[in-house]
A = this chain, B = another copy of it.
């Protein structure tokens, strides 16, 4: 009779599908499967020690996230980003991320709530001291934006930001060493946090919008200058 069995303890049973999904996604983000590459169900299945069924389910999930494309009867292809795709991604981020900042700023969070953001700022600054560690900087940058999305209080918004962020991950990593040292970018992050703490919603939004706009421009400039067509 009880139609809704609400489990009090949502203990997560290990599903093969989840493991395959997580590893496959990691491999794509790590550029282990290069963009445009065609991959086979059975290869992945053998590699991850699973059958084709969970692999297929993972494929469907990753397709929805835009990380690969399922071409019926042709197999699966890792998504490659064109310059136009990069434009799309940055347009979306320029829309969503300032909104996330605004939502967060409106809540008037205290320093404790922003601890992770502040830590990311510290890490970014540390990464630029002395010999710049671009990998470390990128990781801190990513953590900043991830936590910002999480903190905004809107799960859908957060999920959407993280989705396009993931889509652009490889492109960001690729252009990391081609762009100027992200000193300005680091300062902008710090300024956003301060505007949030000061309760200046409009300023926080504005700084962030400019930050994203500049970042997008920088990236597209690099792409054009190097004539990159797919990444």
Contact = CB atoms under 8 A, between A and B. Distances in A.
A17 to B, nearest CB: 9
Contact of A73 (B13, B72, B87, B94): B13
A130 B57 CA distance: 51
User: What is the oligomeric copy number?
Assistant: 2
Contacts of A160: 92, 160
A88 B157 contact: yes
Contacts of A56: 57
A92 B53 CA distance: 34
Contacts of A5: 74
A155 B38 contact: no
Contacts of A35: none
Interface stretch (A23-31, A61-69, A110-118, A193-201): A61-69
A222 to B, nearest CB: 21
Nearest to A73: B13
Question: DSSP majority for the A interface?
Answer: helix
A226 interface: no
Contacts of A74: 5, 7, 10
A16 to B, nearest CB: 11
Interface in A53-94: 53, 56-57, 60-61, 64-66, 71-74, 87-89, 91-92, 94
Interface stretch (A95-103, A119-127, A172-180, A213-221): A95-103
Contact of A72 (B15, B38, B98): B15
A229 interface: no
A12 interface: yes
A88 B5 CA distance: 26
A3 interface: yes
